[in-house]
Structure 1
Amino acid sequence: MELIINGGNAKSSAFEAIEAAKQHKYDLASFKLKEADDFLVKGHNSQTSMLTKAAENAENPNYNEEVPLIMVHAQDHIMTAIMFRDIANEFVELYKKIDLK
C-alpha cells in the first residue's frame, strides 16, 4: 500500500506544480515538484525493501513467489507517478519560458 499511497501523492503534487505554474507561482511549483520527489523517494525505499525481502526468500529452494495483483497495481502507480513528475517539470519549464516572452 505504501507504493500506491506515495505514488498517488507524488502524482498529485506534480499536478499541483503544473497548476501553480499556470498561475505564475514558480516558487510554489518548485516546492510541489520537490514534494513529489520526496514522495517518490519514500515509494522507492518501500519498493527496495520489498525487493530485498523477495531476493532473500528466492535463495530458499522451496520458495515459490507469486506476484499478487495488488503488487502489479502498486508498481503501475509508482511508475506512472515517476513519468508524470518528469512531464510536470517540463510543463513548469515551458510556462517559465512563455512568461519570459
Structure 2
Amino acid sequence: VMLEGKPVDLTGKADPGELRDRGLAHVPEDRHHVGLVLAFEEHENSILGYHDDERYLKGPLLNVDAISADANDKIEKYDIRPGNPRLKTANFSGGNQQK
C-alpha cells in the first residue's frame, strides 16, 4: 500500500502517530468496543489517539478548555447531536456516535 508515493507499513510495527501525521486514519468496525469509551464525555472521546497532541496539552496535563473548544468545532462541523461536548457518548444515537 502506498500513501502519497511512500509505502505504508501494514505489519503492525508502524508508529501510529507517524501514520496519523501522514494523513492515514483507522475507523474501527466495532465503535462500542474499540472506537469509543461510552462512559467518556464527547469531548474526551474526540481526542482519543490524539491526547498527546500539543494542541490539547497545558504542560504535562490535558487542556480541557482547548479540548472542549475543539469538540465544539467538530460538533458544529459534523452536525453532531445533541450539541453538548459534556454529555456521555453513550447518550448519543448510533449515527452521532459514528460522527
> TM-score w.r.t. structure 1 length?
0.23
Task: Report the structure, 1 or 2, having the larger strand content.
Answer: 2
Q: Which has the higher contact order (CA 8 A, sep 6+)?
A: 1
TM-score, L = length of structure 2:
0.23
